[in-house]
Structure 1
Amino acid sequence: MLPASGRATRAFVFGKCPAAPKSPVWSRNHFDPRLRKSRTIFSFASFAARSRMGDRSEGAITLQEWQGWGTTSPLPNMVMEIVEDLKALEKDVDADMSFGGIGGKLRGNLRIQEDKKHRATYQALGDSEKKLQFYAARQIACRLLGSRGYLCQKCWLPMEDCMCSKVTSRSLGPGIRFWLYMHPKDFLRQNNTGKILWQVFGVEAATLCLFGIPEHEEIMWNSFKLAGKGNVWCLYPNKNAAVKSVQDAFGQELLGNYEATLAKTKEDKALNFILIDGTWSNSAAMFRRLQDQAKSIWGDEDLPCISLTPGASAMHKLRPQPSWDRTCTAAAAAGLLSELQLLPQFSSIGLDTQAEAVEDTVTVLLEALTKRRLRMGRSITRKEQLRDVLEVVANFVYDRNLPSSKFSILNDTGFRGSGCICITSDK
């Protein structure tokens, strides 16, 4: 997610919903002495998760399957290795691979065994870079296997909620390229909006780069080297350096028309805009990684950053944000196109209609997610979402047999960034 100033933010994560059953299965009754009433707690897996076993998880990830999710890159080596390890472990423990819960995580006995194995592997990696790469590859491998036969590869929604037929494709303005620098935890998330950019503009104009995946990051930085530092901009408010507005960054180039700009922005000299696509907490680490790499290539100067005029996204209606001046990734891209359209050298290439196409697709995604949540009996308002999150927390405590005294909910003030859920456990 990106604020109008370029930051990434997301308050809560909503897991994937099952294709069936289509209504919640109420499974447990738990008495909460603090509330002095019987509280019904339903399994998170019953309404926001699914189990997929057998033929859906069989077979290696092919290049065609990998690229079908929205990338043109080769299949990352470490992702392939982890997929192979998961399948070998599945045979060793004689347990079917199933996924569910927030983020489509492994479930059942296989999850326990895999958790022990991956923790041991992670601890054995002494280098922080290798640890990051392993972490990212494992997240992606599990999401790839867990989404097989469940999510549409184009829109990342469950098959029955596919929105692809409602998306209108557009050509992005010549000399402009988006890079979606996405955190692995946002990969294949249904309410992710970064995917909208390559749905609308195509994977060459809006390119996915997964944080911590060396094959992806190498492709992105090779493109930046060809373009030159002056043609690379990150939508992020760098506190340690001056952040320019779109007008400040590009308004000084008083060119008569866009043809002059085109002459200097051929394919390898395009204006490259990096959109950090991750949670508020993850975005800081992602930006630091960008800065470190930029300094290793171009020297001590900071990566150029720009900010946008504040504005709210339609996704605020469904997905809570810490504040209304922060917006989703796709809306940030639309805002950038709209502001560029106001400059003389970009005014003749229809960036306003391209921005409108992105905004329209965000609305389509919102409608698809809202329809699904209503069908599944889920809330669509901020107040109701807080209730859902608290039920997930209670389910977390119940599943792990934690004493009720071991968790607390602090500062229950809603979804404006002031609420806090704190879980402590000796287990």
Structure 2
Amino acid sequence: MLVLLPPASSIRALAFHRRLRVPLLAPPRTLPRLGAAPARSIMAFSAEPASGEEKAEAEEESLHTTAAAGAGAGDGDGSEVSHEEWRRWGTSSPLPAAVAAVVRELLEMEAAAGEKMRFGGVGSKLKGDFKDMEDKKHRAVYETLGDSDQKLQYFSARQIGCRLLGSRGYLCQKCWLPTEDCMCTNIVPCNLWRGMKFWLYMHPKDFLRQNNTGKLLWQVFGIQAAQLCLFGIQEHEDIMWDAFHRSGKGKISFLYPNKSIIPKSVKDLKFDGSSLTSDLHEMSSSDEPFNFVLLDGTWSNSAALYRRLKERWTAKWGDEDIPCISLSTLSASVMHKLRPQPAWDRTCTAAAAAGLLWELNLLPELSTYEFEKQAEAVECSLDILLDALTTRRVRLGRSITRKQRHNRNI
């Protein structure tokens, strides 16, 4: 039977919840279990995803949205996306110009066609005749773009624009779950040590995905301590690299298992005295934080994220390799129950962040900064997300188990 736990009111209570074993329901016999996802292209972008990539995208999404969410529903009521609406999705930046342009074009096409846009499926994709009309137009625009960077920016803006319109009135703007499954009241906020900052470098195909775990970091720590940076969105990337410039290359680390070089461990990180004098709540404006970058996307898409980071790093500082760190104590995330990773040495974004915090807690010079509490807060939020996704699957009569995909690097 499914055990329903009352909402926890503190980090300590949530930690207790994590120790309880909640048995998973067996899938209904009439519903086949989901199969392993096929290999996906590692291209950063394309005019149209291959059919295999579309299938993998659908299988990797824990909760496939079958009901369409019209652009005229809920917040915005068919109007353009405002700066306020944009920020409520988890970012402190202004609305990117390219995203605003895509949304405007879609709404103009809707008005000219005289019919409402319909969205559905993974990533709030357009459906019906309007999809065919929009597809022809975006292909024509794409062909006119000769520069690969312009194509990437257009691809990213189009992905994000469709997801914004398709999620209006359907997804909660904080937890990215359907409003009837909102988990926000169960999340317990926690302060991140002011001497560090997380950057969520997110692929646009992970933006507003219900089973995305990177969003948990700003739900727990706030949008300033864990800041969203969308791949291919110029304004977002410029904000992140401006912060890197202020901090200096010695205060930047990328959490990514790059096997082409020997990554450093957390023990190799150097924390200077000025940063260590800053407590959890007070920090001099001249003392910039350590920047930890998490690549947030499927494992095939993360390769494109890494290449783009490496190219800009080399252009800025001349180094061929970016400073990657690996974790030595990483264990399987609870999210593996719904979305197994392709290898045991890989895990979800939030679990990687929690692992980093646990290892920082082991450093003697950082032992007073409550990293244990911060790591537990992230792990508890993962449990809450898993419970919300599992409950929704059970209610919809869907399988809550996945075939194992750990077939490499074992």
Which residue matches 1:288? 307
Q: Could you tell me which amino acid in structure 2 is paired with residue 305 of structure 1?
A: C
CA distance in 2, matches of 1:64, 1:260: 32
In the superposition, relative to structure 1, how do residues 103 and 257 fare at CA in structure 2: closer, same or farther (>3 Å)? Answer: closer
Report sequence identity in percent: 56
Which residue matches 2:405? 415
1:278 matched to 2:297: yes
Which residue matches 2:212? 192
Q: Could you tell me which amino acid in structure 1 is paired with residue 204 of structure 2?
A: P
1:168-190 Cα distance to aligned partner (Å, 9 max, x none):
00110121100000000000000
Indicate if the aligned counterparts of 1:257 and 1:346 stay in contact, CA closer than 8 A. Answer: no
Match of 1:151 among 166, 171, 177: 171
In the superposition, relative to structure 1, how do residues 85 and 257 fare at CA in structure 2: closer, same or farther (>3 Å)? Answer: closer
Which residue matches 1:324? 344
Indicate if the aligned counterparts of 2:63 and 2:393 stay in contact, CA closer than 8 A. Answer: no
Report matched runs for 1:150-229 at 5 Å: 150-229=170-249
Which residue matches 1:79? 99
Which residue matches 2:371? 351
In the superposition, relative to structure 1, how do residues 50 and 377 fare at CA in structure 2: closer, same or farther (>3 Å)? Answer: farther
Comparing 261-270 with 131-140, which one deviates more in the overlay? 261-270
Which residue matches 2:80? 60
Which residue matches 1:89? 109
Q: How many residues align?
A: 348
Indicate if the aligned counterparts of 1:226 and 1:268 stay in contact, CA closer than 8 A. Answer: no
- What secondary structure, in the 3-state scheme, does the structure 1 residue paired with 2:229 have? strand
Which residue matches 1:306? 325
Indicate if the aligned counterparts of 1:322 and 1:416 stay in contact, CA closer than 8 A. Answer: yes
CA distance in 2, matches of 1:260, 1:131: 43
Indicate if the aligned counterparts of 1:193 and 1:330 stay in contact, CA closer than 8 A. Answer: yes
CA distance in 1, matches of 2:313, 2:287: 18
Q: Could you tell me which amino acid in structure 1 is paired with residue 318 of structure 2?
A: G
1:14 matched to 2:61: yes
1:297 matched to 2:316: yes
Bigger fraction of residues in strand? 1
1:17-69 Cα distance to aligned partner (Å, 9 max, x none):
55xxxxxxxxxxxxxxxxxxxxxxxxxx3xxx434354445001000000000
Which residue matches 2:277? 259
Q: What root-mean-square deviation, in Å, do the aligned CA atoms of Structure 1 and Structure 2 show? A: 2.3
Which structure 1 residue ranges, 4+ long, deviate > 3 Å from structure 2? 15-18, 53-57, 253-258, 260-268
Indicate if the aligned counterparts of 1:255 and 1:345 stay in contact, CA closer than 8 A. Answer: no
TM-score by length of 1: 0.77
- What secondary structure, in the 3-state scheme, does the structure 1 residue paired with 2:336 have? helix
In the superposition, relative to structure 1, how do residues 256 and 69 fare at CA in structure 2: closer, same or farther (>3 Å)? Answer: closer
- What secondary structure, in the 3-state scheme, does the structure 2 residue paired with 1:208 have? strand
Which residue matches 1:50? 68
- What secondary structure, in the 3-state scheme, does the structure 1 residue paired with 2:277 have? helix
Indicate if the aligned counterparts of 1:15 and 1:101 stay in contact, CA closer than 8 A. Answer: no
- What secondary structure, in the 3-state scheme, does the structure 2 residue paired with 1:336 have? helix
In the superposition, relative to structure 1, how do residues 53 and 202 fare at CA in structure 2: closer, same or farther (>3 Å)? Answer: closer
- What secondary structure, in the 3-state scheme, does the structure 1 residue paired with 2:269 have? helix
Which residue matches 1:243? 263
Q: Could you tell me which amino acid in structure 1 is paired with residue 219 of structure 2?
A: Q
Gapped regions of structure 1 (runs ≥ 5):
1-9, 19-44, 384-413, 419-427
CA distance in 2, matches of 1:79, 1:197: 24
